[in-house]
Amino acid sequence: MSLTRGLYAITDSLLLADDRLLPYCEAVLKGGASLLQYRDKTRDQARRHDEALRLRELCERYGAQLIINDDVALALAVEAHGVHLGQTDGSLSEARARLPQGALLGATCHANLELAAAAEQAGADYLAFGRFFLSKTKPGAAAAPLSILHDAGQQSRLPKVAIGGVSLDNAASLLDAGADYLAVVNSLFAADNAAEVERRARAFVELIHS
Ligand SMILES: Cc1ncc(COP(=O)(O)OP(=O)(O)O)c(N)n1
Ligand SMILES: Cc1ncsc1CCOP(=O)(O)O
Ligand SMILES: [Mg+2]
């Protein structure tokens, strides 16, 4: 399935503790998210494998794609739809070579067009830029200007993902600046119940397709 535009939900092990992972992820998928990233920084390999497998099954039920953050081996083990790698997560070209044909490879490019060009050269399927707004999930992430989205579009035809503090209040500014996907953690998952998560996902998706 090729990438176009949409909502890219990213999990967070703190916000999704206490058995919230599956129901809240199902809620974003019901709300129309097309990409779901499993982002878990713990070292509990057995739990990570189990959760990733369940999320892959869930994504398949909703016609969405599961992307594994940081970990090519886990993506291969659970037959995920793809992997997202940052600048310190290993070689993109090696990941490309290890992944099966058709698997998605995403790359963090911060606010740097040279990183974007290198990622494209290495075989990335999308380019992620940010953080654009203050992020509760990753408060130390370096700021990126909205103009990087426009500039990246001049250089590449690959889909551009915007990340960092994305909310329903600022989403339109990112879409206007050229974002194809909105990658969101806190504004989706910091919610009291799954119905609210679904409502927020639906609102993002409506904005993206309006
Ligand atoms: C879609 C998307 N964009 C950027 C990131 C950040 O990746 P990275 O820089 O490797 O930081 P961590 O997420 O691993 O802390 C991402 N995960 N997803
Ligand atoms: C992983 C990552 N990389 C840059 S900001 C960020 C976190 C995004 O989470 P939130 O949507 O809560 O700001
Ligand atoms: Mg990473």
Residue 141 located in a structural domain: yes
Residue 1 located in a structural domain: no
Determine the pLDDT at residue 204: 99
Instruction: Provide the ipTM.
Output: 0.99
Mean pLDDT on 111-132: 98
Domain count, the chain: 1
Mean pLDDT of the chain: 98
pLDDT at 8 over 80: yes
Q: Give the separation between CA 165 and CA 138, rounded to whole angstroms.
A: 9
CATH number at residue 110: 3.20.20.70
Cross-strand pairs, 82: 67, 104
- Cα of 43 vs centre of ligand 2, distance in Å, is 20
Mean pLDDT on 155-162: 98
Domain of 28, in residue numbers: 6-208
Ligand nearest 70 Cα, by number? 3
38 is known to lie in a ligand binding site: yes
Model pTM score: 0.99
Ligand nearest 106 Cα, by number? 1
Contact 129, 149 (CB under 8 A): yes
Contact 35, 1 (CB under 8 A): no
Determine the pLDDT at residue 140: 96
Share of the chain above pLDDT 90, in %: 99
Neighbours of 12 (CB within 10 A): 20
135 is known to lie in a ligand binding site: yes
Q: Give the separation between CA 11 and CA 92, rounded to whole angstroms.
A: 22
The SS3 call for residue 133 is coil
- Cα of 70 vs centre of ligand 3, distance in Å, is 5
